[in-house]
Amino acid sequence: MASRIVLLMVFVFDAIAFALAVVAEQRRTKATIQTVDEFASNDYSFSYCKYGSDIATGLGVASFVFLFASQVIVMAASRCLCFGRGLRPGSSRTWAIALFIVCWVTFLVAEICLLAGSIRNAYHTKYRKMIASDLSCETLRQGVFGAGAGFIVMTGIVSEVYYVNYAKSHICSTLPLETGIRMGSF
């Protein structure tokens, strides 16, 4: 049977990662164009980008770390499907192998979204323009952290179902396995 402690830890870490990603999406950096008229006598003015709080970068990185820790826990508990005893043939083993692949794909997509969102959110343009009409204050597009949060949920569900199927097919692996065709002794 699957360890309830492992399932609980994975659920808690994924829930924390999801919450951090959702908050990061809500708190991503926004920019406004500020115009300064320092040289009013010479009719010169310049514009620059003023960015708000940069808290979403830290939240995105924290979400990245919690999701990574969750994946490490599941893979350590299941020995990454590659190490340890072989699994008992059957539907649980088939599901465990398929879910192992899906788990890694959703994990990688979620991590890429969180990492790219954190990096892009931290980027701020540092130039000034004399004409404000063509000034572009680059910010993170809406939905990057949200996509990461969605893939965190998918990763959490798939990794827990993977671990349960792995445990089902691993539990009886101490019994002698029937391979089908036996070779006679020489």
Show the domain range for 90.
Answer: 4-25+55-123+140-171
pLDDT in tens, 9-35: 999 999 999 999 999 989 887 777 777
Entry pTM? 0.78
B/e letters for 88-118, b = 16+ CB within 10 Å, e = fewer, are beeebbebbbebbebbbebbebbbebbebbb
Residue 76 in domain: yes
- The count of domains in the chain is 1
Mean pLDDT, residues 88-104: 87
Residue 30 in domain: no
Q: Residue 82: which CATH number? A: 1.20.120
Residue 18 in domain: yes
Residue 133 in domain: no
pLDDT in tens, 47-69: 777 777 778 889 999 999 999 99
Residue 104 in domain: yes
